[in-house]
């Protein structure tokens, strides 16, 4: 199976640098899933908008949403 590694900041496209800085401030690092998406800056940008809407809106607490997608990943054998 092919492996796509996360892009380190120094190899990421210029349009991703601000996103990397924001994630580093928030999480202390760029989570691997976002670093991997950085291979396609437009995908990362659009996913972050979607992810923010899912996690920050609605009546279900974000921690339960996180548990739901982690459990789904586990059931499907996804490493992320």
Could you write out the DSSP letters of every residue in the chain?
A: ----PPPPGGGS-GGGHHHHHHHHHHHSS--HHHHHHTTSHHHHHHHHHHHHHHHHSSSS-HHHHHHHHHHHHHHTT---
Instruction: Please report the pLDDT score of residue 67 as a whole number.
Output: 94
pTM of the model: 0.77
Q: Domain 10-75 is in which class?
A: mainly alpha
Instruction: Please report the pLDDT score of residue 1 as a whole number.
Output: 65
Instruction: Please report the pLDDT score of residue 69 as a whole number.
Output: 87
Please identify every stretch of the chain with a pLDDT value under 70, giving residue numbers as ranges: 1, 80
Query: What are the structural domain ranges in the chain?
Result: 10-75
């Amino acid at each position: 199976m092919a492996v796509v590694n996360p892009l380190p900041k120094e190899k990421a496209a210029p349009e991703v640098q601000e996103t990397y800085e924001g994630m580093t401030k928030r999480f202390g690092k760029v989570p691997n899933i976002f670093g991997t998406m950085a291979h396609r800056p437009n995908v990362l940008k659009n996913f972050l908008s979607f992810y923010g809407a899912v996690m920050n809106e609605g009546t279900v607490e974000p921690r339960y949403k996180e548990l739901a997608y982690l459990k789904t990943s586990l059931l499907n054998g996804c490493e992320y």
